[in-house]
Structure 1
Amino acid sequence: MTWLMLGVGLVLLVLGADLLVKGAARLAGSFGIPALVIGLTVVAFGTSAPELAVSVKSAWSGQAELAIANAVGSNIFNVLFILGAAAMISPLIISRQLIRQDVPIMVLVSVVALLMTLNGEISRLEAGLLFAGLLAYTWFLFQQGKAKGADTADEEVEALLKTPAPVWQNLLFLLIGLALLVLGARWLVESAIEIARAFGVNEAVIGLTIVAAGTSLPEVVTSIIASLRGERDIAVGNVVGSNIFNILCVLGLSGLVSPTPLLAGAQMVALDIPVMVGVALLCVPLFFTGSMVNRIEGLLFMLLYIAYTWYLVAMALKQPYLPQLEQGIAYALLPAVLLYVVIAFIRDRLKASRNS
């Protein structure tokens, strides 16, 4: 029954996010708000609504470590699993704006989160700073989009706004979406805690794996479909934007509503958050070389995610092969990834020098 509750909770979160986006976007459109603004706010917030709902519910209920674990785990999952899977389907194109602006911002906010959690917690003041960063980032994107013109608005947002719907229906979608998000988050958090207790592991491990992967389902669907359609730049932009939102809004708002500071345990500070920062940093050279994530790089991302998840589970269950697994990751997988990055960078520089 606990696993069934977990599955139903995930389904309710995804359905709730979809209805929330449709209702809120159309409602905003009926008030004359431009498609560009709706895309940067309502839709961007909506795709990360499951993470936000689960982390806020966790923080409010006193599971303060689960709130951080969900956001951190989602960021790791987004890059390694989603981009890995999407790139293995079709090589992903990286836009110039992503390389020059959005990826550096993702790295910056990841480092800020790491520095904030070095003392084992995120205080309400620090959470407020993160949320203020979200408001500044959204305002910056809006100003940038307005300067570029209305043609920068998302086509799907414009198509959604063109679909006629009465105000009462949009309000109904909005309310049902919110209700499903609240109910789904409640069931997901409660079932995750029960599963953690049954396996004898802490809540953070469940938050970093099952909950993080489940709340990232909207990003999975969006990025995989975009890759299959050939919209290979959308898949990457969706993931990078979601990661920025998870740190600034999910952690920020969770910390503001939590009656106590958000907790980051010793493992989170020593392993999981540094992995999140490392994954963000890995995007810089791979995105820069050739402005593309090819299938080999997609496979490397996927192998890194499998190794990370395997290590988490083995460590939580105290498996006897843990030292061998650590050595395999430290002395085989990570050096192989580093060697590939160096070779790819040198090849890209040689190609650029020949072209010039």
Structure 2
Amino acid sequence: MSYIILIIGFVLLIKGADYFVDGSSAIAKKVGIPPVIVGLTLVSLGTSAPELAVSVISSIQGNNGITLGNVIGSNLFNSLVVLGVSAMIVPLVIKKKDTKRDFSVNIFSTILVVVLTLVGFLLGGKVISRLDGIILLICTLIYMVILIFQSKGNNSEEISEIEDIKLSTKIILSIIGVAGITIGGQLVVNSSKEIATTFGISDKLIGLTIVAIGTSLPELVTSVVAILKGEDDIALGNILGSNTFNLLLILGTASAINPIKVSTSLFIDLAVLLVVTLFIGALVFINKKEEKTISRKEGFLLIMVYIVYTVYVIMRN
């Protein structure tokens, strides 16, 4: 029954995020908010809604192993599996000038979280504190402001018109989406705890694997669809944006609510995430060409790295 509830929770999370994005985006455009701002805020936050819901709920309940494990696991899944699968389908062409900013912010965010965690270790607290959470949230705000201001000058789209659709319908759709995210998050957290207890495994392992993969499904689907449509930049932007929001917004919100305890094993996982992030950044920027193609072989290598890491995590538990 716990597995069934877990699956139902994932479905509610993913569909709830989908409804929330559709409804809130339509409302925003209806009242005259430019599409670029909608995309950079509501849509970006919507794809990270499953992780946010699970992390906040687990943080409120004191299950911080799931919180940090979910963020680390989701980012590793995005960087290795989502990017790897995308490259396996069609070799992924990355334009340096278009991705330099997002790659830099993603690397900075990862290093910042590692530094804050390391400081917590050195001070003997072994936690990501509320102050750390506030710092991460401030960085989130700064990042979003930069995105909006930089994109305004490049925005050539006209505000979309919504015809024959009542505003009340979109408001109801958004409310249903929020309800789905909230209920789904509760189901995922509670069922994950039951599964962990039944098999005698830690909530950290559940967060790093099952919960992380489940909450990253929207990013996987979005990136694959974008690749099939030839939109390589959208696929990569989705991965980088999700990873950045996971580290800054989600981890920041969760730790601001309740300081997150960091075990030695999770610190190792965080170090693995840093190495993977730097490796992918080097893979793209180490050559002098303006474009870097991630081949099918490199995509396969990324997937294999994730499999090896997952086996290690399971054996470690």
- Tell me if structure 1 keeps the 8 A contact 2:36–2:155: no
> Would you say 1:134 and 2:140 are equivalent positions?
yes
Separation in 1 of the partners of 2:43 and 2:183?
Answer: 21
- Where structure 1 has 5 or more consecutive residues not aligned to the other structure, the ranges are 317-356
User: Residue deviations 1:96-115, cap 9 Å, x none?
Assistant: 24542111111111011111
Question: What is the aligned counterpart of 2:275 among 275, 278, 284?
Answer: 278
SS in 2 for 1:150: coil
Instruction: Kindly state the Cα deviation for residue 292 of structure 1 after the two structures are TM-superposed.
Output: 1.9
Separation in 2 of the partners of 1:106 and 1:164?
Answer: 41
Instruction: Kindly state the Cα deviation for residue 31 of structure 1 after the two structures are TM-superposed.
Output: 1.4
Q: Give 1:300's aligned amino acid.
A: L
Separation in 2 of the partners of 1:164 and 1:117?
Answer: 51
Deviates further, 129-138 or 278-287: 278-287
Instruction: Kindly state the Cα deviation for residue 201 of structure 1 after the two structures are TM-superposed.
Output: 1.4
Q: Return the TM-score normalized by structure 2.
A: 0.93
1:25-174 equivalences in 2 (<5 Å): 25-118=25-118, 119=121, 120-151=126-157, 162=162, 164-174=164-174
User: Residue deviations 1:257-315, cap 9 Å, x none?
Assistant: 22xx111111011x210111111101112222452211111011000000000111112
Partner residue in 2 for 1:262:
260
1:295-306 equivalences in 2 (<5 Å): 295-306=296-307
SS in 2 for 1:94: strand
Separation in 2 of the partners of 1:300 and 1:308?
Answer: 12
Q: Give 2:148's aligned amino acid.
A: F
Larger Rg: 1
Separation in 2 of the partners of 1:257 and 1:98?
Answer: 35
> Would you say 1:252 and 2:252 are equivalent positions?
yes
Q: Give 2:307's aligned amino acid.
A: I
- Tell me if structure 2 keeps the 8 A contact 1:9–1:185: yes
Separation in 2 of the partners of 1:236 and 1:276?
Answer: 17
Q: Return the TM-score normalized by structure 1.
A: 0.83
Judged with a 3 Å threshold, the aligned counterparts in structure 2 of structure 1 residues 251 and 98 are, in CA distance, closer, same or farther, namely farther
RMSD: 1.5
The alignment covers a number of residue pairs equal to 307
Instruction: Kindly state the Cα deviation for residue 162 of structure 1 after the two structures are TM-superposed.
Output: 4.4
- Tell me if structure 2 keeps the 8 A contact 1:130–1:251: yes
Q: Give 2:266's aligned amino acid.
A: M
Separation in 1 of the partners of 2:147 and 2:77?
Answer: 25
- Tell me if structure 1 keeps the 8 A contact 2:54–2:189: yes
**Segments ≥4 residues shifted beyond 6 Å:** none
User: Residue deviations 1:10-47, cap 9 Å, x none?
Assistant: 00000000000011111111111100110000000001
Deviates further, 287-296 or 271-280: 287-296
SS in 1 for 2:32: coil
- Tell me if structure 2 keeps the 8 A contact 1:36–1:150: no
Q: Give 2:263's aligned amino acid.
A: G
Q: Give 2:269's aligned amino acid.
A: D
User: Residue deviations 1:35-90, cap 9 Å, x none?
Assistant: 01100000000011000000000001111221111111100000100000110000
Partner residue in 2 for 1:343:
none
- Tell me if structure 2 keeps the 8 A contact 1:90–1:232: no
SS in 1 for 2:33: coil
Separation in 2 of the partners of 1:164 and 1:253?
Answer: 38
Separation in 2 of the partners of 1:193 and 1:97?
Answer: 44
Separation in 2 of the partners of 1:100 and 1:220?
Answer: 22
- Tell me if structure 2 keeps the 8 A contact 1:286–1:292: no
Judged with a 3 Å threshold, the aligned counterparts in structure 2 of structure 1 residues 136 and 145 are, in CA distance, closer, same or farther, namely same
User: Residue deviations 1:320-351, cap 9 Å, x none?
Assistant: xxxxxxxxxxxxxxxxxxxxxxxxxxxxxxxx
Separation in 1 of the partners of 2:50 and 2:134?
Answer: 21
- Tell me if structure 1 keeps the 8 A contact 2:30–2:162: no
What's the % identity of the aligned pairs?
39
Separation in 2 of the partners of 1:276 and 1:7?
Answer: 27
Separation in 2 of the partners of 1:149 and 1:202?
Answer: 47
- Tell me if structure 2 keeps the 8 A contact 1:92–1:232: yes
Instruction: Kindly state the Cα deviation for residue 150 of structure 1 after the two structures are TM-superposed.
Output: 2.9
Q: Give 2:252's aligned amino acid.
A: G
Instruction: Kindly state the Cα deviation for residue 229 of structure 1 after the two structures are TM-superposed.
Output: 1.6
Q: Give 1:144's aligned amino acid.
A: Q
SS in 2 for 1:230: coil
Separation in 1 of the partners of 2:21 and 2:44?
Answer: 9
- Where structure 2 has 5 or more consecutive residues not aligned to the other structure, the ranges are none
